[in-house]
Structure 1
């Protein structure tokens, strides 16, 4: 993507993300219509839908030839990442949004012919913007994030993961993952994949594991993590398919092989 074009898209995207954050803060305490999707814990609110519709309207008005993948279905029916594709989660961490009124984020990843060019993750309630353009570093607000540490070991690593790893699942033996939790220094779960990616890029987590995420959960985070020298794969070490749900490993590259080996030792 031409640098001038990318800068224009980036500036527009940041403006819209911050405006969307204002809408959420202004309306989050109003009565919300809450629905479930795939299961009782998969929530969606009227604000999720409104914010995604807001992005779709803005993008289509400004960039009519761009495509949109959105969690709530207001985007396009996309079968490839050819051209410019916006991958949007209007509220990542909806359960946190509903129950806690914090620990959720707006996530916008912009890809050109399958390459992540722009990543934006906005922690709405903390007013913290994580953002990156390919090849230009990653930032937390105006502060550039340093490259990830080169002296991390699994035994002193903090890993983001949810409790589903420790219960019976179809991918990895739960006893292996219980052993994993005992081996690392600590684990954390924040209930928002976007924020877990942001924290991995910031270096306050050394990695993030998830059993099954959609493209809108990870698109922005992959760009940001890349810019600090991190890596993102599925839990077998394969490239992430940005058009399908996938297991996810985002981490400091020093830990990648050890993390994958540990997980694969428990594969069913």
Structure 2
């Protein structure tokens, strides 16, 4: 993808996200239509659907020949990442959005032939736009971010998905014990932001879908973090993955802990 093409897309994508976020914020006091997808902890709202429809329409108008993989759409049977594919999470952290009105994000990624070219995570309430463009680093609200310090597990906080801890996962417990402490946010996008800004040294997630992963992977890797499956294998972007995002040092330590526990 040419640099000028990226620059043109960047302006469009930022504008679309800001417009979508304005609509969400202006509707925060309106009654929500909330439905369960797979359980009472897996929700979808009218705002998820409206935001996704808005973004999909904008992409289709500007890039009619490119494919879109979006969380709430029926086109989730994408078989490959050939060509240009957009991956969208209209509201990442829907449960937070419904219950707390905080800690949720709009996420968009652009992949070309399976390689992440552009990733966007927008914290709607904090008005923080994180943009990662391949080989150009990451910016937050136009300010260039530095590479993340390679902090060890013992010297940093970790985010671990509530599902792993609730189920008493022994490997997750060992990671927690070796760290300085555990934090749970409930949004893959926001927890990825914590990792890329050095607020945590690792994020261990039980199962993330493509739209949970795509934007954050571009951003994290641009800043020197490792973004893999928990077994160290590369992310399979068209499937759900047990994910480990971490500094190189923390990644090595956590990987060894996870493999050691799973082999017993």
Scaled by the length of structure 2, the TM-score of the pair is 0.96
What is the CA-CA distance between 1:91 and the residue it aligns to? Answer: 0.3
User: Does residue 147 of structure 1 match 2:147?
Assistant: yes
Matched with 1:46 is 46
Unaligned stretches of 5+ residues in structure 2: none
Q: What is the alpha-carbon root mean square deviation over aligned residues?
A: 1.4
What is the CA-CA distance between 1:74 and the residue it aligns to? Answer: 5.5
Task: Report matched runs for 1:10-29 at 5 Å.
Answer: 10-29=10-29
Deviations, residues 57-111 of structure 1 (Å, cap 9, x unaligned): 0000110011100000155742111111110000000011001111100011110
User: Does residue 128 of structure 1 match 2:123?
Assistant: no
Change (3 A) 1:251 1:81: same
Deviations, residues 178-197 of structure 1 (Å, cap 9, x unaligned): 23212110111111001111
Q: Does the aligned pair in 2 maintain the 1:67–1:75 contact within 8 Å? A: no
Matched with 1:215 is 210
User: Does residue 188 of structure 1 match 2:183?
Assistant: yes
Matched with 2:254 is 259
Task: Report matched runs for 1:95-110 at 5 Å.
Answer: 95-110=95-110
What is the CA-CA distance between 1:50 and the residue it aligns to? Answer: 0.6
Matched with 2:93 is 93
User: Does residue 206 of structure 1 match 2:205?
Assistant: no
CA distance in 1, matches of 2:131, 2:74: 24
Matched with 1:79 is 79
CA distance in 2, matches of 1:108, 1:209: 21
Change (3 A) 1:50 1:75: farther
| Counterpart among 213, 219, 225 of residue 230 in structure 1 | 225
Q: Does the aligned pair in 2 maintain the 1:52–1:74 contact within 8 Å? A: no
Q: Does the aligned pair in 2 maintain the 1:118–1:134 contact within 8 Å? A: yes
Change (3 A) 1:9 1:75: farther
What is the CA-CA distance between 1:28 and the residue it aligns to? Answer: 2.0
What is the CA-CA distance between 1:6 and the residue it aligns to? Answer: 1.4
CA distance in 2, matches of 1:176, 1:201: 23
Unaligned stretches of 5+ residues in structure 1: none
Number of equivalenced pairs: 263
CA distance in 1, matches of 2:233, 2:94: 28
Q: Does the aligned pair in 2 maintain the 1:158–1:185 contact within 8 Å? A: yes
Deviations, residues 27-71 of structure 1 (Å, cap 9, x unaligned): 121111100001111000000001001011000011001110000
Scaled by the length of structure 1, the TM-score of the pair is 0.94
CA distance in 1, matches of 2:90, 2:252: 33
Moved more, 135-144 or 67-76: 67-76
Task: Report matched runs for 1:146-185 at 5 Å.
Answer: 146-150=146-150, 152-168=151-167, 174-185=169-180
* Secondary structure in 2 matching 1:266: helix
User: Does residue 242 of structure 1 match 2:237?
Assistant: yes
Q: Does the aligned pair in 1 maintain the 2:118–2:134 contact within 8 Å? A: yes
* Secondary structure in 1 matching 2:251: helix
